[in-house]
Amino acid sequence: MGNNKRLFIETYGCQMNVYDSEVVLSILGAHGYSPCGSLEEADLILVNTCSIRDNAEQRVWGRLDRFLQEKKKRIVRVGVLGCMAERLKQELLSHPAVDIVAGPDTYRELPAMLLRLEESGDKQIDTALSMKETYADIEPVRTDRNGVTSFISIMRGCNNMCTYCIVPYVRGAERSRDPQSIVREAGNLYKAGYKEVNLLGQNVDSYLWKNPENPTETVTFAQLIELVALIAPDLRVRFSTSHPKDMGNAVLYSMAMYPNICTHIHLPVQSGSDRMLEKMNRKYTVESYLERIAKIHEIVPDAAITTDIIAGFCSETEEDHQATLELMRRVRYDSAFMFQYSQRPGTKAARHFPDDVPTEVKTRRLNEIIELQSAISLERNRECIGSTYEVLIEGASKRDSGSLFGRTSSNKVCVFPALGHRPGEYVRVAVESCTSATLLGNIVE
């Protein structure tokens, strides 16, 4: 469709949003929009947004003011996509910069919305959520810069209803994508030279595909990762996020069986206090969580385990906080994403539990958590010194142009002198030193 417009898309939030932006580029690419590198060149600016914590939303409001300045200079259209679009609907549409508001399940409507906007001059909004949409047939336009690793969304939405979390409200009900379309997408990436795919879902362990023609024919997550692993032995398979209440042993056996399924599990714990876990509606206890950890060590002995932790959830006491620190010491996570609790309007916690931990207490507890984790991460990395790991090279090191960086199967970032090697190659690296975030070493033949 020859209208040749330039599209600039800015993405906030999780990897799922990065993937969705690639889907949007593909949909609009078929309608004459090609990506451009800066908002100053764009005919259409899209911002794909996150609602998980209040600070993610505040950043986007700031960007909308910036886009408004641009609109005062010239003709440019602005659309808000994603989780904030879904949550705030008309409130976003009322911002003077905004022409279009589109929720996560309405991206196929974007070309029609843009057309109506041009014809009528009226702002457009569509935030319908779908029980079926998985964008299975759309081949995303990749925006990663390395051409080595890429994301594939295997499911959408979430049914878990953790009391603090906005995701089920903004991304709708959980639905699994047709496994054939996932394998096809991974195969195409491999043919294009990619060496690693990262399978994404809010809770990958509840992935379950039922053949609509024959509902007794199903594919589980453990089966899906095997299907992807079978594409090629040198195509690495990663996945996230696992849920402690649903992660069974079958996934672990698949990991143990296929050397190209990476030995890393992201298993968010959120808190080390049973009282908090109950209040968060996580549906596991510290004891059952530790049993899962023990199984990981038993079946995939060299697996790295990472987590998410929330500090200062409603009514959290000093004792609850100490329990979290204690659990961290027991599990010894390789790394963690750590956050202060941020109340999200409309969630069960916002409706029923007072947000009663003072900000300074949340911040102090978060800092204690971060400090402990950084000491544990350093210890964990030190344990790698003296060992040799297979590393997939992703690109040039940011700090040192003569060096490359890549990841071990366990997802640790490794930096080493290039010696003529290139992104996309597998090399063996002997680790000689480290920081809490990076392994440093040399390629060995």
With CB under 6 A as the contact rule, the residue among 77, 142, 156, 171 that binds ligand SF4 is: 171
Closest CB 20 distance from ligand SF4, rounded Å: 8
Instruction: Check residue 167 for interaction with ligand SF4 (CB under 6 A).
Output: yes
Instruction: Check residue 51 for interaction with ligand SF4 (CB under 6 A).
Output: yes
Contact residues: ligand 5AD, CB under 6 A = 52-53, 164-165, 268, 270, 308, 310, 339, 341-342, 344
Tell me how many degrees the CA angle 441-444-445 measures, rounded to the nearest 5. 165
Nearer to ligand 5AD, 47 or 349 (CB): 349
How far is it, in rounded angstroms, from Cα 227 to Cα 249?
A: 17
Of 10-18, 105-113, 136-144, 280-288: span binding ligand SF4 (CB under 6 A):
10-18
Written in H, E and C, the secondary structure of 88-111 is HCHHHHCCCCCCEEECCCCHHHHH
Q: Say if CB 238 and CB 207 are below 8 A apart.
A: no
Q: Which listed option, ligand 5AD, ligand SF4, none, makes contact with residue 339 (CB within 5 to 8 Å by class)?
A: ligand 5AD
Closest CB 171 distance from ligand SF4, rounded Å: 5
Residue nearest to ligand SF4 (CB): 13
Q: Which listed option, ligand 5AD, ligand SF4, none, makes contact with residue 240 (CB within 5 to 8 Å by class)?
A: none
Label residue 349 exposed, middle or buried (CB < 10 Å: 0-12, 13-18, 19+): buried
Closest CB 13 distance from ligand SF4, rounded Å: 3
- Give the number of other Cβ atoms within 10 Å of residue 418's Cβ: 16
Distances (CA, A) of 65 to 10, 58, 92, 103, 170: 14, 11, 12, 21, 23
Residue 261 DSSP class: B
Closest CB 212 distance from ligand 5AD, rounded Å: 31
Instruction: Check residue 16 for interaction with ligand SF4 (CB under 6 A).
Output: yes
Instruction: Check residue 21 for interaction with ligand SF4 (CB under 6 A).
Output: no
How far is it, in rounded angstroms, from Cα 445 to Cα 432?
A: 16
Nearer to ligand 5AD, 33 or 339 (CB): 339
Instruction: Check residue 14 for interaction with ligand SF4 (CB under 6 A).
Output: yes
Q: Say if CB 312 and CB 361 are below 8 A apart.
A: yes
How far is it, in rounded angstroms, from Cα 225 to Cα 56?
A: 32
Q: Which listed option, ligand SF4, ligand 5AD, none, makes contact with residue 110 (CB within 5 to 8 Å by class)?
A: none
State both tokens at 287: 């004891």
Q: Which listed option, ligand SF4, ligand 5AD, none, makes contact with residue 44 (CB within 5 to 8 Å by class)?
A: none
Contact string 53-92 vs ligand SF4 (x = CB under 6 A): -----------------------------xx---------
**In what side-by-side order are the strands of the sheet with 236-240?**
149-153, 196-200, 236-240
